[in-house]
Amino acid sequence: MSEPVVVQIVGAPTACAEGIKESWREMAHWADGQLRNRFGDAVRVEYYDLFDPTCPSLPADAQLPLVIVNGELLSSGGKLPMPAIRKRVEDILG
């Protein structure tokens, strides 16, 4: 078996009146479930908080959430682009 396609999602917690929310982490967990249902072990989702020491390097003009697939920037800012992530994984897997 070859190495899985790696989808890295970089987000950050947000503060609101109710406290700290981990919305991007929750969305990354949801995306992991969706992609695993479709591709099984051929894909791996990794979530990074912006302040994690292991967070991948970010482009200078990056906005959150940042999505990187197999080391290539897929999206920066806006919503989590599940159709684009799924398509990129499909393209890589052939």
The pLDDT, as a whole number, for residue 15 is 82
Structure tokens at 21: 């929310």
Which residues are registered as beta bridge partners of 68? Answer: 8, 73
Return the CATH superfamily for domain 5-93: Hypothetical protein sa0798. (3.40.30.30)
Within 10 Å of residue 19's Cβ, how many Cβ atoms? 8
Domain ranges of the chain: 5-93
Bond into 56 cis (ω within 30): no
Please return the burial class of 66, using the count of CB atoms within 10 Å of its CB with bins 0-12, 13-18 and 19+: buried
- Which positions ≥6 away from 93 have C-beta within 8 Å? 5, 39, 42
Pairing outcome for strands 5-11 and 43-49: parallel
The pLDDT, as a whole number, for residue 46 is 97
Q: What is the arithmetic mean of pLDDT over 48-57?
A: 92
**Position 1 confidence tier, pLDDT thresholds 50, 70, 90:** low
